[in-house]
Amino acid sequence: MRIMKTRYRLLAGAPGLLLAQGAWAQDPAIRNDPAGESAAEPSEQTRRTLSFSVPLVSETRAFGEVFIEVEADNSYLIDTASFRREIAPILNEEGLAGLDQVLEGQALTSAESLQTAGIDITFDQRRLQLVILGIRPELLAVQQIGARSDRRSGIQLNRIEPARFSSYLNVTGNFDYDTALGAELPSFFLDGATRIGGVVVEYDGAITDQFTGDVQFLRRATRAVYDDPDSYRRYSAGDLVVESLSVLRNPQIGGVAIEKRRRIFDPFLSVTQLGGRQIFLDNRSTVEVRVNGERFDTLQLDAGTYDLANLPIQQGSNDVQLLIRDSFGQERIVDYSFFFENLALPAGEEEYSLAVGVLSRPLGFQQDYTDEVAASGFYRKALSENLVLGAAFQASEDVQTVAGSVSVVPQIIPGVFDLETGVSYSDSGVGIAVRAGFQLQTGNALSNSSQLAINVEYESSKYRTIDLVQPINFDLLSVGASYSRSFSESIFAVVGGSFVRNSGRGEDNYNAFFDVNYRLNNRMRLSAGAEYGSAIGGREQFGVRIGLT
């Protein structure tokens, strides 16, 4: 017999391929046995196996490396672990379940076995590639049409890591002269911040006689802030203005707070995703994508399901048109018409805040804290691109208030509808507040955009929030509407009106206005307008205005 000594070398031009070379040597004990030699040689050659990695590819996509074993008769087996790792991202749950059933308990599998899982595959010996010939379309995961961008960065800005210690202070001077009273003492307003490690202390104050008659230093607000950008959370302590739903207003609290809000860290976030629109291709096709009449892209797509969520869309009405030409040469056109409104919260995300401390009564420039402990919090979540729900509460010893909100884009009616409702309980009894709004925006260019807004607000006489210093004690109803439109990059106009019914005064007030703005250059704007309405006491008034800013 012969002993086979095998060594491996890397084949140039074929990364990952090991070529086995055999060197035959006779066993001295049977060197003179020609019959044994001839019988052993073919048996050893037959058992030679090459193991190496090759790229996994399809006609339109390249994956990673997959290990295979090739026998002397050119048959091959595929490593199950590396194959599953590479192909799993393009399979849906049904496809993965079928694949796992075929691969269960096997370290190696064959192309014939994979066919039973709906995956047709072959080994290209000339190119040294494992080629996916086809996958049953119903087994493929939904794929995206349109460039996917990192939602965390609506606009890419250069980021500079802050120093361990840094500080700044802004000082703004104000000097007034009155023809009757003469010159007044100057005032100085100060605001700044100091960073120490990961904590930033913000401060705001003034040296003035405007509020007390005597020149003195007044502390407007001081707070310490710690940010966690990875989780979009902010922790703060000090003088706080806590954001909530509009029917609860924003109370001033001296205490601690936590809030999660993406726009704290990404103020340029643009939530412009189509979502919920998909197409299914049962064979390889060429797809031309047009958005609002403009060609966006031409794609060569394999069979499968594709999502249109990442196509670029604009505020208002949108028309998406897909021109599909399949492998048989047949052509079809798919149209999607829909209305988009930015709900300011990406689908599936949530935001919230919670603050606990003592109340400040907002009667002047400087904080005036009471001994009344209070808490305020709210929660909002986008259930989809078209629906956002929210809830909030405020509680102190004297007032407890709860509220809910809904923002919806119904699609069957263009525009976005907002509704907030609050219910309060206090010594005065139970009160309610309702705020409803409608907004319709079209176009996204300075020279071709318009916006319609309608708002209705109602507060009962017994409605209270924790920051309300003086109870209103009368019902209040207001209705407002406005429409703005840009005619060019330099000219835009606004027209609107409002109606207010105050049960306390027993009279109605109304107002109508019209304004035109003309941008002279990047720094100056000329505006002119007229206004007509009623004042307190029922007197009608009319006025015109012109301004240069």
Q: pTM for this structure?
A: 0.57
**298 domain-assigned:** yes
Model pLDDT for residues 348-399, shown as the tens digit of each residue: 888 999 999 998 876 666 788 888 899 999 999 988 878 889 999 999 988 9
**389 domain-assigned:** no
- Looking at 295, 325, 340, the residue that finishes a domain is 340
CA atoms of 172 and 192, how far apart (whole Å): 11
Model pLDDT for residues 205-236, shown as the tens digit of each residue: 888 887 677 888 888 889 999 999 888 899 99
**312 domain-assigned:** yes
- Beta-bridge mates of residue 226: 199, 235
Per-residue confidence (pLDDT) for residue 353, from 0 to 100: 92
Query: Within the chain, what is the greatest distance between any pair of CA atoms?
Result: 132
CATH of the domain at 321: 2.60.40.3110
Assess whether pLDDT exceeds 70 at residue 17: no
Three state DSSP letters for 69-109: EEECCCCEEEEHHHHHHHHHHHECHHHHHHHHHHHCCCCEE
**78 domain-assigned:** yes
- Looking at 304, 323, 340, the residue that finishes a domain is 340
**543 domain-assigned:** no
- Looking at 125, 141, 157, the residue that finishes a domain is 141
Cβ contact 253:374 at 8 Å: yes
**201 domain-assigned:** no
- Using DSSP's 3-state secondary structure scheme, residue 386 falls into coil
Model pLDDT for residues 428-484, shown as the tens digit of each residue: 889 999 999 888 877 655 566 777 888 888 989 889 888 775 667 778 888 888 888
Range of the domain at 65: 2-141
Query: What are the DSSP calls for 464-523, one per residue?
Result: --TT-SS---S-EEEEEEEEEEESSSSEEEEEEEEEEEETTTTEEEEEEEEEEEEE-SSS
Assess whether pLDDT exceeds 70 at residue 46: no
CA atoms of 521 and 448, how far apart (whole Å): 19
Per-residue confidence (pLDDT) for residue 535, from 0 to 100: 67
**296 domain-assigned:** yes
**335 domain-assigned:** yes
When divided into structural domains, the chain yields a total of 2
Assess whether pLDDT exceeds 50 at residue 32: no
Cβ contact 56:83 at 8 Å: yes
* Lowest-pLDDT range of 65-79, 300-314, 379-393: 300-314
**Alpha-carbon Rg for the chain in angstroms:** 36
Arithmetic mean of pLDDT, 231-257: 88
Assess whether pLDDT exceeds 50 at residue 124: yes
CATH of the domain at 65: 3.10.20
The larger pLDDT score, comparing residue 42 to residue 503, is at: 503
Assess whether pLDDT exceeds 50 at residue 68: yes
Helices 80-87 + 93-103 axis angle, to 10: 180
In this prediction, residue 21 has a pLDDT band, given cuts at 50, 70 and 90, of: very low
Per-residue confidence (pLDDT) for residue 409, from 0 to 100: 82
